[in-house]
Structure 1
Amino acid sequence: MCGRYVMARAVGDLLSQFDAELEEEVVVPPSWNVAPTADVPILLERLVDGSPVRQLHIARWGLVPSWAKDTGIGSKMINARSESVLEKPAFRKATRTRRCAVPADGYYEWKGEGRSKQPYYVHPKDGTPVVFAGLYEWWQDPSKGEDDPERWLLSTSILTTDSPPEGYAGGMLAELTALHDRVPLPMDRATMEKWLDPQAQDAAELVGIVRVNAHDVAEGWRIDAVSKAVGNVRNDSPELIEPVGSLF
């Protein structure tokens, strides 16, 4: 799964890297320990005057379905299983019409070693940013009036997989699933273009493309053992990603 990740890039860098624009000014403080329910940047495309426009927005990590009674459900919705995402009521409609990309520098995973768990930082070897396949949803707070600008909450979830796709044996994705049985799904630029396209109709095909492409993207990653300090969400500094040892 993906339960903690790093997103320490400036807004301007994200806009330039992913050819996006802002609908309104946003602030994204750098974080080396992004945790569930935090506000995070996402990339999405909307039709403006009939043409797709890519935008960067800020969303709460943990998808809150439009039909939810409150936002509490979001903490359980940080990840969406790609194998069943079109079957689950919380994710089905978003997969068809509200797909997004979640930029990151890398993510953390833990593996049991003896009586404790060792954290690992998974990230591209060349330092380029990652984009995970994601979903987004809008939720309206029923306790707030129609004129209250705070009544709308934008939230997001990151797609995961449980194993490499059929036909792919070994490789980094296999190593990652050995580290943990759930792996967030990264995309290359071409796959991201397809995933974000608001005019794309076949959601099942898009999920399949992302699952296959993730194998190739992960081949450019490395896994570093890092300090156990990352386990405390109050710790948030560049020192958290300093390697104390490497797997690959």
Structure 2
Amino acid sequence: MCGRYVMARAVGDLVAEAEAEADANLELRQSWNIAPTADVPVALERLIDGKPVRQVHVARWGLVPSWARDIASGVRAFNARSETLLEKPTFREAVLARRCAVPMDGYYEWKTGPGNTREPYFVSRSDKKLSWFAGLYEWWADPAVQAGEPGRWLLSASVITLAAPDPETSEPALRPLAELHHRMPLPLAGPDLEQWLAPGNLGATEALALLGRVLGNAWKTAEGLRVEPANPAVGNVRCDGPWLLDPETGPGGTAAPGVVPALF
């Protein structure tokens, strides 16, 4: 699954790496502990004057379908399982017409440790470049806000997940991921990213074929990911900062609670 992640790039760097246009009101806050319901950047493509234009927007993490009565329906829809996208009403229409990519510096995952403890890890690209993961987006009209008024439309998004590699049969490069968790976000790269973002309405058969191609290349893309221990404080959404990537450091460079600083 994907329940916390890092997005700490400057707006200009993100837009340049996405090879996209920035939404006119694009505002991003660096965060090393993004949780569901937070505002997150997404890349999507729209047809403008008959031509596809890639844009970066800010969306609420947790997809709110257009037919939802209120925003609360998105609280649990921050992830979408690849196996059931066309079966679940929440995601069924989005996978046919509203696909996006969610950029991350990396994401956190928890592993069960000794004594049933939960140990956090940070998953990121070895080359420190942005990772892109398959997502879905929707526009929702707030019934409490009149048409034409600011705040009427909410953009929201979900991250698609797939089953992680099998620890018993996976390639050595994938073993750390395989042993971390049974789910992971669906990575995109190269032609898969281009095809996933391509605008237009797909039929169910076409959508399944596209999803199948992306899933078929997922492990190859995931080979560039590395898994490293993270700071236990990441479990508290109120904690934020680059120190969360160091398991032995607290805020301001101090030793994390319960951790003895190294002397050499």
Name the TM-score, length of structure 1 as normaliser: 0.93
Pair 140,95 (structure 1): closer, same or farther in 2 beyond 3 Å: same
The one-letter code of the counterpart of 1:21 is E
Identify which range, 196-205 or 137-146, moves more after superposition.
196-205
**Corresponding residue pairs, total:** 242
Tell me the SS of whatever aligns to 1:6: strand
Deviation at 1:171, TM superposition (A): 4.5
The one-letter code of the counterpart of 1:206 is L
- Could you tell me the percent identity over the aligned residues? 54
Between the aligned partners of 1:205 and 1:50, the Cα distance in structure 2 is: 24
Identify which range, 96-105 or 107-116, moves more after superposition.
107-116
Counterpart in 2 of 1:73?
73
Pair 104,199 (structure 1): closer, same or farther in 2 beyond 3 Å: same
Summarize the alignment of residues 124-139 of structure 1 with structure 2, pairs less than 5 Å apart. 124-139=125-140
Summarize the alignment of residues 96-175 of structure 1 with structure 2, pairs less than 5 Å apart. 96-113=96-113, 114-164=115-165, 169-173=170-174, 175=176
The one-letter code of the counterpart of 1:121 is F
Between the aligned partners of 2:223 and 2:187, the Cα distance in structure 1 is: 11
Tell me the SS of whatever aligns to 1:95: helix
Counterpart in 1 of 2:195?
194
Between the aligned partners of 2:190 and 2:18, the Cα distance in structure 1 is: 9
- Contact 2:188–2:214, Cα closer than 8 Å, also in 1: yes
Counterpart in 1 of 2:92?
92
Deviation at 1:173, TM superposition (A): 4.5
Deviation at 1:226, TM superposition (A): 1.3
- Contact 2:37–2:61, Cα closer than 8 Å, also in 1: yes
Between the aligned partners of 2:175 and 2:88, the Cα distance in structure 1 is: 26
- Contact 1:194–1:200, Cα closer than 8 Å, also in 2: no
- What 5-or-longer segments of structure 1 have no aligned partner? none
Counterpart in 1 of 2:251?
none
Name the TM-score, length of structure 2 as normaliser: 0.87
- Contact 1:171–1:219, Cα closer than 8 Å, also in 2: no
Between the aligned partners of 2:235 and 2:43, the Cα distance in structure 1 is: 27
Between the aligned partners of 1:89 and 1:230, the Cα distance in structure 2 is: 32
Asked which structure has the greater CA Rg, the reply is 2
Counterpart in 2 of 1:218?
222
Tell me the SS of whatever aligns to 2:89: coil
- Contact 1:172–1:215, Cα closer than 8 Å, also in 2: no
Between the aligned partners of 2:59 and 2:243, the Cα distance in structure 1 is: 26
- Contact 1:132–1:187, Cα closer than 8 Å, also in 2: yes
